[in-house]
Amino acid sequence: MRLIDRTGGAETPAERPEEALTLLSEGEASTAALGERLGREATGGEVIALIGPLGAGKTRFVQGLARGLDVPIRYVNSPTFILLQCHEGRLPLYHIDLYRLERAAEFEALGLEEFLEGDGVCAVEWADKGLALLPPARLTATFRYAGEGRREIDLSAVGEGYIQWLQKIKEERRWEIAEKKK
């Protein structure tokens, strides 16, 4: 996986990430490895918003996240039709999928806030359908197709713990810095 360091990107100061970067994933294994890396760092209470088209790697990322949390990944798949799956591991993993929601108000009606404020790690697929309802301090991962099997993963962090995650990823030799933009 290669790394592109970016800054800014949001329209309003309240939405502007405090830290942002783009990773270039060479395939599913690389995408899962990123999720696993973050899962190993998790201490509880984290929220990860996942955005991107069908098949872009959101669920594969969550499977890696689950591995990092010591959750058996055979149980981790997209919860599109049930909206929420809870998995036990070193920390609980709350896997939410908002694909079927029409309006943000439906998110509130489902009572998912308790999982966002819980002691586990909350991964929200199709988070763009409920971004206004997610806590401002979070990691947002936006997945885009970048050619055969490749993905660009834009990561933006708001909040000290999430910023530290991104800084550690930058410092690791495993994540090659491909380009810096200011």
What pLDDT shows up at residue 29?
92
Q: What is the pLDDT of residues 104-160, one digit of tens each?
A: 666 666 767 777 777 899 999 989 888 888 899 999 999 999 888 889 999 999 998
Comparing CA positions, the residue from 173, 153, 176 lying closest to residue 48 is: 153
pLDDT of 177 strictly over 50? no
Q: Which domains does the chain have, with CATH numbers?
A: 2-180 (3.40.50.300)
First-to-final CA distance of the chain = 21
Residue 59: how many CB atoms within 10 A of its CB?
22
Question: Residue 175 is encoded by which pair of tokens?
Answer: 């994540």
pTM for the complete prediction?
0.83
Q: What is the pLDDT of residues 33-75, one digit of tens each?
A: 999 999 999 999 999 999 999 989 999 999 999 999 999 877 7
Comparing CA positions, the residue from 108, 138, 133 lying closest to residue 123 is: 138
Question: Residue 159 is encoded by which pair of tokens?
Answer: 């909040």
